[in-house]
Structure 1
């Protein structure tokens, strides 16, 4: 019985010893195989994690450009200077009652007179801009004709043209020509126009004495009647609150280009300048500088040059 117990106890030990020996043999064979492969120049296959990401330049998003200004005539353009650098301008075809808009309205604002941002009122069916006046860099007022019935409305923006709202108050210190009705809209009254041809109100003129360019002639409302100013071939004009007037004239003997003239409140010619070019749409005087908007863009000239 004692010998049987010894044999029974040794069996597990012999079994584990065999497993260990077998493992050692297998390990030795694997290492030998690897060494032989390395000696033959073979490398084990490696599969690194792919962390590289292909970088692709995004497609450029085109900057939204303002609509191109339509072809203009001097009776259809407005130019207004808010300060030394900020300009507002507008153009639109004449609104015809019951007819579709033939030409889209374009209203723009610039901080440098070179690049322009569209400020045409969104959500308002503006068919014609009768008058546009900058009050400051962020505020402007416009008299427009809206919808197929060509209803006259006053709009104002306080946000640099981003948003416009109806402003039923009368026009602030200026006048606008309503060619359909044949009148000049002023803060206090509707005045008859001095002619039947397309006319335009002169920006900057005092409300009590508005100035109109009509068929190349200039007239000012004084003491209840239109007083003509002895000038011909006037294509654009700008006035100041103190009564001074700047006119742009083309096709005159004195100048092979555009003749700019400055007139005092007493009607005296205080300065003039001949500049090259043609196709003037609007002018805006500010001190000794005159901003000229023509079919080639906007430029400035100085009486002192």
Structure 2
């Protein structure tokens, strides 16, 4: 028979063993609960994504702006605004026999009068400028030899009679800058300047400052050195002193956006012509009354907040 001392000793040993087992079970449960709060592991061979700060702002995705194909050369448009009178023209083609058209309006484009100097034998309209209510200047080709399509010679003409009569001015032609007929060049008083692309569009000049559109880029230059004006998806340009107005496609304008680029290169939005179709022929000009666009059948004026 065991003594009471021995019995108490065995009882203590059993209690210690039971307590140790309980502690072990509690430890295992605690570890399982902790692992359940952790993020689930990814598939084998992949790392879990890093934590993202709540203050992190994702970079915006650039919006793609498609540049419409340039219109045919003979469908190019020209627009000139001066002293409350609008002059507009469709280029035509000397080489292909497409007749140019020139019109004048003195009521902001509500009505137009055909003033094409067809009697002077013009075959293509190249440049157009307005000076006063009854005065304008154009550069056009004249086919001197009907048997030779390459003989499309440029002439400078002026009117002082609202477009009813036009006369040649050789000195005006010598001092003018205009797209060289049938060539990827711009004719200037100091000689031809190579254009930065095979088919430049909207070639314009103001006080010797040249501007044009090449492959959807608005470019400025005064020699063979052309610089990008920084307005993508360009359709037409209109230089005005140090500034350059650009009609272009923009993500936030359903039609044609007009912006102005300062001499320092700053770009400011002027207006959105929501009615204009950027895939059509577009012409642009600016004067003291505002900015004018010609797209589709309408010529529209917008206030020039940048002036």
TM-score by length of 1: 0.67
Asked whether the equivalents of residues 246 and 285 of structure 1 are also in contact (C-alpha less than 8 Å), the reply is: yes
Equivalent position to 1:253, from 248, 251, 254: 251
Q: 1:135/1:224 Cα in 2 relative to 1: closer, same or farther (>3 Å)?
A: same
Aligned to 1:274: 272
Distance (whole Å) between structure 2 residues aligned to residue 173 and residue 249 of structure 1? 30
What do residues 252-301 of structure 1 show as CA deviations (whole Å, max 9, x unaligned)? 32322211111111110233333312235211112461111111311111
One of 184, 187, 195 as aligned partner of 2:186: 184
User: Greater CA radius of gyration, 1 or 2?
Assistant: 1
What is the rounded CA distance, in whole Å, between the counterparts of 2:303 and 2:230 in structure 1? 24
CA distance in 1, matches of 2:234, 2:293: 14
Tell me if structure 1 keeps the 8 A contact 2:77–2:281.
no
Match of 2:255, SS?
strand
The equivalent residue for 1:238 is: 238
Residues in 1 aligned to 2:73 and 2:156: alpha-carbon distance in whole angstroms? 23
User: TM-score, with normalisation over the residues of structure 2?
Assistant: 0.67
1:79 CA displacement: 0.6
Residue deviations 1:198-231, cap 9 Å, x none? 422135x331x21111222111114651122232
Structure 2, gaps ≥5 residues long: 1-70
The aligned runs of 1:9-88 (5 Å cut-off) are 76-83=76-83, 85-88=84-87
Root-mean-square deviation (CA, aligned residues, Å) is 2.5
| Structure 1 pair 77–193 and aligned structure 2 pair: CA distance change class (3 A) | same
Q: Structure 1 residues 294 and 281, CA, compared in 2 at 3 Å: closer, same or farther? A: same
**Contact 1:133/1:140 (<8 A) preserved:** yes
The gaps in structure 1 that reach 5 residues or longer are 1-70
1:43 equivalent in structure 2: none
What does the per-residue CA deviation read over 1:32-66, in whole Å, with 9 as the maximum and x for residues that have no partner?
Answer: xxxxxxxxxxxxxxxxxxxxxxxxxxxxxxxxxxx
Distance (whole Å) between structure 1 residues aligned to residue 284 and residue 299 of structure 2: 9
Aligned to 1:199: 201
Counterparts of 1:206 and 1:218 in 2: how far apart (Å)? 18
Partner in structure 2 of residue 127 of structure 1:
123
Query: Paired residue for 1:144, among 104, 116, 140?
Result: 140
